[in-house]
Amino acid sequence: MELRHLDTLLAIADEGSFTPAADALATVQSNVSEQVRQLETELGVPLLVRGRRGAEPTEFGAVVLDRARRVRRELEAMRTDLSMLQGLEAGHARIGVVGTASRWLVPALVADLRDRAPGVRLRVNEGASERLFAEVLDGELAQAVVTEPVTDRRLEVEHLLDEGLVGLVAADVELPPEPVPFAALAALPMVLPPEANPLRIEVETVATAQGLTLHVPVEVEGIRLIADLVAASGYASVLPETAIPPELANVRAVVIAGMPPRRLAVVNARDVQMSLADRAVRESVVRLVTPRGVPPEAVAGGVPSSASGGAQ
């Protein structure tokens, strides 16, 4: 097996059929067909099925394509590492950050890399944890800062930080004195992330343990939008302290009795070797996301003063 065999298979998958793949590879269709035949002979399985819509991968072909993409990513990472060591070009790092942490983590990360690794080009994907899990496993991202729990055994997990979860309500909503019983919040209509979201799972777990049923008429994936909805309606929510925009008016954050903290972790795929650029980013993240590295309001146990009683 040679890399050209895998390149040919990838080109067919990307282009949809043999003829466009040949054009993309600057060769003729007979060469493409021969490369596929050689690969199928060596592996002993059919990789592609030709049909009216072009060439479709078989079950075996899908497995080989997945591995071929990983091989290509590893080769590119190797070239990048060597270039960085030789000082020839900048490395390219790819990280995902859950929306509840991006507001304070990403600016700090960019500033830190500017000083420590100015040659690193950084790509940041912001999204829900469950989406970032998939992007790391697919190889689109090298790593991601997500909310625990992480149950997929294909992901390697490094815990970073415990952060307090607080109740968020409109400023004029009446609640018992702090720490507010969770039942008082659960009595209000709530806006929360979708059910598969780790934060939603944590909140539902607490509700179940207390024999409570949550009324969630609105589900929103974007955490920052949740805070805006709370400010504009009579809904309540439960959010990490640092996810509450400091400029948001007409809301107040309250300590919830018996509410466990939100746990942040950084994850990467177990079977993928990270590049030097990605490792530089990992070092910055781990160093920044500690009780000494994050803003004071990010440390579990306190409520941001800017959110309590409205923006100041």
Give the number of other CB atoms < 10 A from CB of residue 96: 27
Find how far residue 275's CA is from the centre of its chain.
18
**DSSP of 47-108:** -EEEETTEEEE-HHHHHHHHHHHHHHHHHHHHHHHHHHHHTSS--EEEEEEEHHHHHHHHHH
Read off the DSSP letter of residue 24.
H
CA-based nearest residue to 227, from 241, 237, 217, 216: 237
Query: Whole-angstrom Cα distance, residue 191 to residue 137?
Result: 29
> What are the φ/ψ torsions at residue 90 (nearest 5 degrees)?
-80, 150
Count CB atoms within 10 A of the CB of residue 45.
Answer: 14
Q: Torsion angle, CA of 19/21/26/30, rounded to 10 degrees?
A: -50
Partners of 147 in beta bridges: 264
Question: Can you give the pLDDT at residue 294?
Answer: 47
For residue 179, is the peptide bond before it cis, meaning its omega torsion is within 30 degrees of 0?
yes
Helix (H, G, I), strand (E, B) or coil at 44: coil
What is the structure's pLDDT at 303? 37
C-alpha distances in angstroms, 250 versus 165, 209, 219? 19, 31, 21
Strand partners, 255: 166
Alpha carbon distance 159, 149 (integer Å): 10
pLDDT value, residue 86: 55
pLDDT at residue 177, as a whole number = 92
Dihedral sign for Cα 113, 118, 120, 126, please: positive
38, containing H or E segment: helix 29-43
Cα dist from 155 to 1, 17, 158, 165, 253, whole Å: 29, 34, 10, 25, 33
pTM of whole model > 0.95?
no
pLDDT along the chain (312 residues), means of 10: 87 89 87 89 89 85 89 80 58 88 90 86 90 92 92 92 90 90 94 88 92 93 81 87 78 91 92 83 89 44 37 30
Type of residue found at 198: P
d(CA 276, CA 282): 10
Please give the full DSSP string across 167-211, using - where no structure is assigned. EEEETT---PSSSBPHHHHHTS-BEE--TTSHHHHHHHHHHHHTT
Distance between CA atoms of residues 161 and 289, nearest Å: 7
> What Å distances lie between residue 161 and 58, 150, 211, 289, CA to CA?
44, 14, 28, 7
